[in-house]
Structure 1
Amino acid sequence: MRKINVNLWGIALLVFVNLNCVNTKGKNTTMRDNSEEKLYLDLGKNIAASTQAVLGKNLMIAMAKGGPEYALEFCNSKAIPLTDSMAIEHKTAIKRVSDKARNPLNEANKLEKSIIVSIKEQLNKGDTPKPEIREVKGKMVAYYPIVTNAMCLQCHGKVNETVQQKTFEKINDFYPNDKATGYTVNQLRGLWVVEMQKTK
């Protein structure tokens, strides 16, 4: 039975990764050279996708081992350190942010929140959410939408619907100021933010 569960989580992980950080045709407000824009968007996409894959693999193992409650323990203690280790590997800065953060360290700043609003408007219109890229303090910063799917909803959905009561209690134990429940499928959960040094 566990083997079946692991396989199901593997499929869910692939869907999760494919639904996030895959669209690189975002409009840009600061760069004029579309080829340069695409270069940075592609670079950032690869960094975000590889980081997502590492987190997803570990999350899948945690879910298979002990369900959503065990996965919450993983997220609480390992998600940010794993993300930081990938930033070191890629020699860049990368983080996940949200306007409805679970961990206060993932709270979006003013600029990031404005991008979140813009991407939510795209989703509300039925459009595919697009990443954005900006020049910020001499660095190129790319923002990739993280969109919810069924797997996300076990910890981020509606309480007593997709989030079980025991999971909700564990969320409150780890994150007493949590703002990250109530989502449904295909909503914007937040952004991957990848900061890159300019090459020119």
Structure 2
Amino acid sequence: MTKLIVTTAVLLSILSMPASAQPAAQSTDEMVNEARAMVKAFGGSLKQALQAAIKEGGLTNGIGVCKTVAPEIAASNSNDEWRISRTSLKVRNSNNAPTDWQAIQLQAMKKQPVKNGKPVEVWQVSEASGQPEFQYMSAIPTQKLCLGCHGDSIDPKVKAKLAELYPEDKATGFSEGDLRGAFVVTRKIPAPE
């Protein structure tokens, strides 16, 4: 019994370390837990910033936050090892277009973005790029808050602001509960020493 407690304590101390201080050889389960924590931090910060911007200046103000603040939040939640971003089958910003693997996962998630009350998630470790890489995705179901800018019935002022900031916007026509996109977390896996 003591051995199990010590092992659990060691595991918990590793998971609580910053990613840059963690040992190079993390298990897939540990990387999934790290990715989940990053998604929670990024998603929470983004939602809070959007709600504050909309409260302060309406939906058009929220669009500006998505354009400028969302990439800053992603950057502040990323580091030398880990990177977090968003993607979708219908992107607003073409820089967020999915890779082939991400597009396949999004198509599957589209059928059921939420399972057992939680966003669907997938992950893999791939060596396709020549260096092992951990890839994680967590579905972003469309919430009521999203519909003012991503739904079917968008106010003309909001449409004009979207056209100004995102001339190639494809991210409209969603209904509540639809798959809006996914959070993506990647990590290059260091070669064993």
The interval holding the TM-score normalised by the smaller chain is: 0.7 to 0.9
Counterpart in 2 of 1:139? 133
Quick one: which amino acid aligns to residue 141 of structure 1? Q
**How far is the alpha carbon of 1:197 from its aligned partner?**
4.6
Give the structure, 1 or 2, with the largest relative contact order (CA under 8 Å, sep 6 or more).
Answer: 1
| C-alpha distance in 2 between matches for 1:46 and 1:83 | 13
Quick one: which amino acid aligns to residue 138 of structure 2? Y
Counterpart in 2 of 1:81? 72
Give the alignment of 1:90-169 within 5 angstroms: 91-123=81-113, 129-137=119-127, 138-159=132-153, 163-169=154-160
Give the alignment of 1:171-186 within 5 angstroms: 171-186=162-177
Counterpart in 1 of 2:24? none
Provide the aligned C-alpha RMSD in A.
2.4
Of the candidates 167, 186, 190, which is equivalent to residue 195 of structure 1?
Answer: 186
Of the candidates 59, 67, 75, which is equivalent to residue 58 of structure 2?
Answer: 67
Quick one: which amino acid aligns to residue 105 of structure 1? N
SS of the equivalent of 1:119 reads helix
Q: Contact conserved, 2:113 with 2:140, CA < 8 A, in 1?
A: no
SS of the equivalent of 1:87 reads coil
Taking every aligned residue pair, what percent have the same amino acid on both sides? 25
Q: Which runs of 5+ in 2 are unaligned?
A: 1-26
| C-alpha distance in 1 between matches for 2:46 and 2:114 | 28
TM-score scaled by structure 1?
0.73
Report runs of 4+ in structure 1 exceeding 3 Å deviation. Answer: 123-129, 197-200
Q: Contact conserved, 2:150 with 2:172, CA < 8 A, in 1?
A: yes
CA 1:124/1:83 → structure 2, altered by over 3 Å: closer, same or farther? closer
SS of the equivalent of 1:141 reads strand
